[in-house]
A and B are shown apart, each in its own frame.
Chain A
Amino acid sequence: QKEVEQDPGPLSVPEGAIVSLNCTYSNSAFQYFMWYRQYSRKGPELLMYTYSSGNKEDGRFTAQVDKSSKYISLFIRDSQPSDSATYLCATSYGGATNKLIFGTGTLLAVQP
């Protein structure tokens, strides 16, 4: 079993739709959860960063962590064509030198 599972998609939605992206993880020791956005042929860009359970909102983006079910989500409201990218979830045990464990990424296409 992979440590982080993510549906690779592709996911295609019309402009303005609410997008829900999800990951599950296997190790309850993970404490930090991140979402990255990666445009084609570019490095990942940090979108959201959450410690432990709960919600975090930033503009049109909301990250949600449910440690009891080992489930992490990213919601995008009023999706735009510019949101079209691959979204990667990542977890970490914490600490500066601990590595990030990435999901495979979900390819999102927002149709104008």
Chain B
Amino acid sequence: GAVVSQHPSRVICKSGTSVKIECRSLDFQATTMFWYRQFPKKSLMLMATSNEGSKATYEQGVEKDKFLINHASLTLSTLTVTSAHPEDSSFYICSVRGRGGTEAFFGQGTRLTVV
């Protein structure tokens, strides 16, 4: 499977600041990337889908101005949490999928804590 690197693995930030999370596909051309959010003991909640070179498609209820997604290349996507608040504290995970592929490969996740 693909090797997906997510950085940072954990971050603590002050309320009101912005945080950028990177997702890199190290050995795989990721034409589609997905960003998920996971609360403790809950399943993964899809936030948005992004295709390389296109604007991200956000799931219902996800604020696109708060969670900025950029899929700049076939190997890099970023999620920026703008003006973070304590309720944004969560585990954020990216996954990648190649052209024509159905399997999705996941990064190791980023634990965001907003204080």
Binding site for B on A (CB under 8 A): 6, 8, 32, 34, 36, 41-46, 49, 51, 88, 92, 94-100, 102-105, 107
C-beta contact mask, B50-67 vs A, less than 8 Å → 1, else 0?
A: 010000000000000000
For chains A and B in complex, what number of residue pairs have CB atoms within 8 angstroms? 64
The answer to whether B51 touches A43 (Cβ under 8 A) is no
Give, as a whole number of angstroms, the nearest-CB distance from A4 to chain B.
Answer: 9
Chain A residues whose CB sits within 8 angstroms of the CB of B6 once the complex forms: 43
Binding site for A on B (CB under 8 A): 1, 4, 6, 31-32, 34, 41-44, 46, 49, 51, 91, 93, 95, 97-109, 111
The answer to whether B111 touches A96 (Cβ under 8 A) is no
The answer to whether B43 touches A41 (Cβ under 8 A) is no
The answer to whether A32 touches B111 (Cβ under 8 A) is no
Chain B residues whose CB sits within 8 angstroms of the CB of A92 once the complex forms: 102
| Contact status of A96 and B98, CB under 8 A, knowing A41-B111, A43-B106, A46-B103 | yes
Chain A residues whose CB sits within 8 angstroms of the CB of B109 once the complex forms: 41-43
Give, as a whole number of angstroms, the nearest-CB distance from A19 to chain B.
Answer: 19
